[in-house]
Amino acid sequence: MIRKILYFFGQLLFIPHLILFFLSREKELIVLDLYAKKSLKKDVLIIGYDLSLELLLNKYFRTLFYFRTTGFFSKVLRVFYPKQNTFIIDVHTKIGGGLILAHPYATILNAQSIGNNVYVNHLVTVGEKNNLKPTIGNNVELHANCTVIGGVTIGENAIIGAGAVVSKDVPENCIAIGNPAQIIEKKQ
């Protein structure tokens, strides 16, 4: 009971974030991110409650929220409610909705584009090589400590295993593991 009361008062501090959310052009993407692991809600009050609670408790989600909401007001809020410094998203990366963040500690996302419903674990590096950035499809899983680098394309529904180093294209519905990454299986 005491925890719920403390959460309630903590959520009140995030009312400016709710205002930013309702003024944002990226509302739909933020809602998809918020409910990436849960069933989607339609009620505005429930969305506001869930959003303020997630922003209070999850600095990784807060970092993604600030990525989605740019502008002066967003930058001011970052001073008082900081983002997670060990989770970096390049400002030029285009990310679809429903990004699933599984404690992305020490993760860098620097891609041409990242599709919808992508799962990102900790220590993941998606990076640039020779001015070329990866393109990640929809429903891709990037597991712990994997590296995707250069102008490669990761097809839809692909899984990049833990510790894999991907420097060549991975077709859709495939599983890639190892260093260098090799395709071990095509999913049905």
Residues known to be catalytic: 122
Q: Are 129 and 108 in contact (CB under 8 A)?
A: no
Cβ burial 19-31 (10 Å sphere, 16+ → b, else e): ebbeebebeebbb
